[in-house]
Amino acid sequence: MDVGIVSYGAYVPRYRIAPAEIGRIWGLDGAGLGRGLMVEAKSVPSPDEDVATISVEAARYALRRCRVSPQKIGAIYVGSESHPYTVKPTGTIVAEAIEATPALTVADYEFACKAGTAAIQTCMGLVKSGMIEYGLAIGSDTSQGAPGDPLEFTASAGGAAFLIGSKEIIARIDHTVSYTTDTPDFWRREGQVYPSHGGRFTGEPAYFKHIISCSKMLFERTGTKPTDFKYAVFHQPNGKFPLRVAKQLGFSDEQVKTGLLTPKIGNTYSGAVPLGLSAILDEAKPGDRIFVVSYGSGAGSDGFDITVTDAIEQYERSAAPTVKEILSNFKLLDYGTYAKFRGKILLGGE
Amino acid sequence: MRRVAIIGAGMTEFGELWDQSFRDMGIRAGFEALNDANLTSEQIDALYVGNMSAGRFIEQEHVAALIADYAGFAKNNTPSTRVEAGGASGALAIREAFMSVASGLHDIVVVGGAEKMTDISDEEVNAIQSSAADQEWETIFGATYPSLFALMAARHMHEYGTTREMLSAVAAKNHKHGSMNPKAQFRREIKPEDVSKSPMISSPLRMLDCAPISDGAAAVVMCPLDMAKKFTDRPVEILTTAMASDSLALNQRRSITEMAATKIAAKKAYNRTGLKPSDIDLAEVHDNFTITEIMAVEDLGFAPKGSGGKFTLEGKTTVGGEIPVNTSGGLKARGDPIGATGVAQIIEIVQQLRGDAGKRQVPDAKIGLTHNVGGTGSTVIIHILGVPQ
């Protein structure tokens, strides 16, 4: 039985802040830092937006593009490291909002930046086993960066939803592999407002080791090489890392550029690979093969070998905005407004 | 005094060694040195370890006993001593070992230097490095290590017309040398313009003027020269050790465009050996910042005072030049795991004098000098090594 993506939807908040503006406040060369990280701006959620609203927006766009009744969705998994509640699922809010309740299973996932791809894998398994007809996998975040911390220059917001099923699939997922170790490069403990990270330890022994190992597993499993793929998308904590990892693996900038969104919106964490994949599906043609590898700190990578099917020709892509269209509508904020929006200003009595 | 030779050398690669602990690195370097000298741990009479701040970097003190234990010396109850002199800790361990062999107290001695710096945040590393400056007169007022060297650089530029281009030439040259050293942290060349455009750290010093944060360990084995032939065909003699100190705080110095301790130690070293600066074939000098190397080539007598920058810019300190400096890549490109640095400098000279330095080999190298600095010049230790005559 073929399993794959039946529909997808993406959402990114329209507010942005530029690295130079963040640097202005903290006495840092923000513009230079931004150039180094290859990030021109990062997305900022408005005060009324959180992982629940972003997930709902993305899920609604996914449903708008297909004729699947939400009542046929047997599972919803929302992957995020910024769920609005510590105890109480985000997924139930999404399920109610899209009218998928009550005959379904729901759970929230957390695996740093790769919880969204883990949700896709879970849905694939449930569909393939026949337990459900359709599953909705969402990766979405309003990630946190402590004021003045290097993370603040990239930690942003956004998400994407994928309806996984076996009928009328627009993109077949032929293989998925995962590479997981216990590598403490980035973490946030119970009760902490902002995450901690291991500085440069988050690079070579974490991001690069896991993505490269997972990619090699996927090449081996599928008997493929980089030139077999039209597109590639990797986790993108900044603009520099995914380009470097792509080069190390033998992919060209051309293969990576469509799914590389970090330069415009920053690191959307659990939303990063799902959004990159959405941007690729926005323009992909039948037969296009897509190489996908996520990365989540802690640490692990999920890899996918995806092939776009003929069904994408009849698919109503234009029923919801493309990633490009979503990103074209933005408004730059000053640091004060950003701080207010992100709840960084403590009000009396708090 | 007995003549002393180095009969074995070994070191880890320098860099961000995420998968090696302090003890792993110590063992690797130590075993490489022992193998190089064809020795086993039972033959070792003493161990000296140079280490600046394991207590703060990895919360482990008493590291001489630790390394002796993990190197297999514990069963022999080998005397093991850890010494500290800030950035000059490695050279101080070499000096102590040299004196113990020269005096006749010990015959075969291992000297190790090690530092594990990447287990903690960059901010904490900066604070620990800065603790080699004066905590009451400097750092309490906000001075950091880079800012103190920046004062020296600014004054040197003011007094002697040293330029940005000259500072950048030091880093570019050391990266060029580092690109030829398989153990170097940075094995890639950089252009002087890259240095000039790198982010400002403390004006006028930019990021690529500064040596990196590194993990690494280095070890050598010494014995009396007359015993050396038993272990190796190619011993390298330590012709002399010279040391000088100065005020801990920079503001107490008569001049901040020179390191008086370097000049005094150099004078002692030249007098004891009867050598002149022009007799030195190559030198490993302390380049924790580019300005430090410029001052060193002046204070060691390779270039007239004030002209160290121009001297570098003209390529005179590059391999193939008049006096190649930091053929290993120096602290800048080889890396600077503080306690290991002074020992790694010695290893570079040993390799060069043995003719083992590969692409960075200085032709016919017979005499080499090492220069290791603690703090902002509060401790300077110089060694001159030679092919035994």
3-state secondary structure A4-47: EEEEEEEECCCEEECHHHHHHHHCCCHHHHHHHHCCCCEEECCC
**Structure confidence at residue B73 (pLDDT):** 86
How many CB atoms neighbour CB B46 within 10 A?
A: 22
Q: What are the angstrom distances between the C-alpha of B333 and each of A169, B98, B177, B197?
A: 53, 28, 8, 18
User: In the predicted model, what is the mean pLDDT of residues B110-133?
Assistant: 95
pLDDT grade for B74, boundaries at 50, 70 and 90: confident
Nearest one of A321, A303, A237, A246 to A272, comparing CA atoms: A237
DSSP state of A204: I
The 10s digit of each residue's pLDDT in B233-266 is 999 999 999 999 999 999 999 999 999 999 999 9
**Structure confidence at residue B71 (pLDDT):** 86
Examine residue B9 and state whether it is found in any structural domain, yes or no: yes
**Structure confidence at residue A346 (pLDDT):** 86
Q: Mean pLDDT for chain A?
A: 97
Q: How far is A199 from chain B (nearest CA, A)?
A: 7
Is residue A66 part of the annotated active site? The answer reads no
Catalytic option among A40, A49, A81, A152:
A81
Task: Report how far residue B130's alpha carbon sits from residue B127's, in angstroms, rounded to the nearest whole number.
Answer: 5
**Encoded tokens for B108:** 């075969």
Task: Report how far residue A274's alpha carbon sits from residue A233's, in angstroms, rounded to the nearest whole number.
Answer: 9
**Encoded tokens for B199:** 């982010």
**Encoded tokens for A179:** 């590479």
Task: Report how far residue B238's alpha carbon sits from residue B345's, in angstroms, rounded to the nearest whole number.
Answer: 13
User: In the predicted model, what is the mean pLDDT of residues B293-303?
Assistant: 98
Structural domain of B92: 4-121+213-228
B121 lies within 8 A of chain A by CB: yes
**Structure confidence at residue B99 (pLDDT):** 98
CA atoms within 13 A on the CB side of B127: 8
A191 lies within 8 A of chain B by CB: no
User: In the predicted model, what is the mean pLDDT of residues B86-90?
Assistant: 98
Catalytic option among A113, A197, A210, A214:
A113
**Structure confidence at residue A350 (pLDDT):** 56
Q: Point out which residues pair with A196 in neighbouring strands.
A: A187
Task: Report how far residue B77's alpha carbon sits from residue A303's, in angstroms, rounded to the nearest whole number.
Answer: 53
Task: Report how far residue A25's alpha carbon sits from residue B15's, in angstroms, rounded to the nearest whole number.
Answer: 33
**Encoded tokens for B73:** 């010396």
pLDDT grade for A223, boundaries at 50, 70 and 90: very high
Considering the entire predicted model, what is its pTM? 0.89
Task: Report how far residue A50's alpha carbon sits from residue A45's, in angstroms, rounded to the nearest whole number.
Answer: 7
Contact B16 A200 (CB under 8 A): yes
* Chain centroid, CA B246 distance in Å: 18
Examine residue B283 and state whether it is found in any structural domain, yes or no: no
**Encoded tokens for A127:** 């569909």
- Phi, then psi, of B357 in degrees rounded to 5: -90, 10
Give the burial class of B275: count Cβ atoms within 10 A of its Cβ; 0-12 exposed, 13-18 middle, 19 or more buried.
middle
Q: Point out which residues pair with A173 in neighbouring strands.
A: A306
Pairing of strands B46-50, B200-202: unpaired
User: In the predicted model, what is the mean pLDDT of residues B111-118?
Assistant: 97
A285 lies within 8 A of chain B by CB: no
Task: Flag whether pLDDT at A140 surpasses 70.
Answer: yes
Q: Measured over all CA atoms, what is the biggest interatomic distance in chain B, rounded to whole angstroms?
A: 58
Task: Flag whether pLDDT at B93 surpasses 60.
Answer: yes
Q: Letter for the amino acid at A85?
A: Y
How many CB atoms neighbour CB A192 within 10 A?
A: 11
Q: Which of A320-324, B71-75, B241-245 has the lowest mean pLDDT?
A: B71-75
Contacts of A184 in chain B (CB under 8 A): none
User: In the predicted model, what is the mean pLDDT of residues A90-96?
Assistant: 98
Contact A29 B19 (CB under 8 A): no
Nearest one of B241, B236, B275 to B356, comparing CA atoms: B236
Q: Which of A26-40, A210-224, B66-80 has the highest mean pLDDT?
A: A210-224
Contact B19 A32 (CB under 8 A): no
Structural domains in chain B (count):
1
Give the homologous superfamily in CATH for domain A172-311: Thiolase/Chalcone synthase (3.40.47.10)
DSSP state of A179: E
Task: Report how far residue A211's alpha carbon sits from residue A301's, in angstroms, rounded to the nearest whole number.
Answer: 6
CATH code for the domain defined by A4-170+320-341: 3.40.47.10
Give the closest of B19, B121, B200 to A199, CB-based.
B121
How many CB atoms neighbour CB A96 within 10 A?
A: 13
Task: Report how far residue B310's alpha carbon sits from residue B346's, in angstroms, rounded to the nearest whole number.
Answer: 27
Q: Point out which residues pair with A4 in neighbouring strands.
A: A165, A172
Q: Letter for the amino acid at A63?
A: L
Q: Point out which residues pair with B279 in neighbouring strands.
A: none
CA atoms within 13 A on the CB side of A4: 23
| Equal fold, A4-170+320-341 vs A172-311 | yes
Examine residue B288 and state whether it is found in any structural domain, yes or no: no
Where are the extended beta strands (E) located within A104-193?
105-109, 134-142, 157-165, 171-183, 186-187
Q: What is the dihedral of CA A209, A212, A214, A220, to 10 degrees?
A: -140
3-state secondary structure labels for all residues of chain B: CCCEEEEEEEECCCECCCCCCHHHHHHHHHHHHHHHCCCCHHHCCEEEEECCCHHHHCCCCCHHHHHHHHCCCHHHCCCEEEECECECHHHHHHHHHHHHHHCCCCCCEEEEEEECCCCCCHHHHHHHHHCCCCCCCCHHHCCCHHHHHHHHHHHHHHHHCCCHHHHHHHHHHHHHHHCCCCCCCCCCCCCHHHHHHCCEEECCEEHHHECCCCEEEEEEEEEEHHHHCCCCCCCEEEEEEEEEECCCCHHHCCCCCCCHHHHHHHHHHHHHHCCCHHHCCEEECCCCEHHHHHHHHHHCCCCCCCCHHHHHHCCCCCCCCCCCECCCCHHHHHCCCHHHHHHHHHHHHHHHHHCCCHHHCCCCCCEEEEEEEECCCCEEEEEEEECCC
Examine residue B343 and state whether it is found in any structural domain, yes or no: no
CATH code, B67: 3.40.47.10
Nearest one of A9, A14, A212, A5 to A120, comparing CA atoms: A5
Is residue A113 part of the annotated active site? The answer reads yes
Any idea where the domains of chain A sit in the sequence? Answer: 4-170+320-341, 172-311
Contact B16 A32 (CB under 8 A): no
Contact B118 A32 (CB under 8 A): no
Q: How far is A204 from chain B (nearest CA, A)?
A: 9
User: In the predicted model, what is the mean pLDDT of residues A71-94?
Assistant: 97
Task: Report how far residue A251's alpha carbon sits from residue A228's, in angstroms, rounded to the nearest whole number.
Answer: 10
pLDDT grade for B300, boundaries at 50, 70 and 90: very high
Q: What are the angstrom distances between the C-alpha of A261 and each of A243, A257, A279?
A: 12, 8, 8
SS3 A246: helix
Q: How far is B17 from chain A (nearest CA, A)?
A: 10
Task: Report how far residue A154's alpha carbon sits from residue A112's, in angstroms, rounded to the nearest whole number.
Answer: 15
Is residue A235 part of the annotated active site? The answer reads yes
A184 lies within 8 A of chain B by CB: no
Residue of A nearest to B198 (CA): A32
**Structure confidence at residue B140 (pLDDT):** 94
Examine residue B50 and state whether it is found in any structural domain, yes or no: yes
Where are the extended beta strands (E) located within A211-338?
231-234, 289-293, 298-308, 331-332
- Please tell me whether the peptide bond between A299 and the residue prior to it is cis, using omega within 30 degrees of 0: yes
Q: Could you tell me the end-to-end alpha-carbon distance of chain B, in angstroms, rounded to an integer?
A: 17
**Encoded tokens for B305:** 């005072």
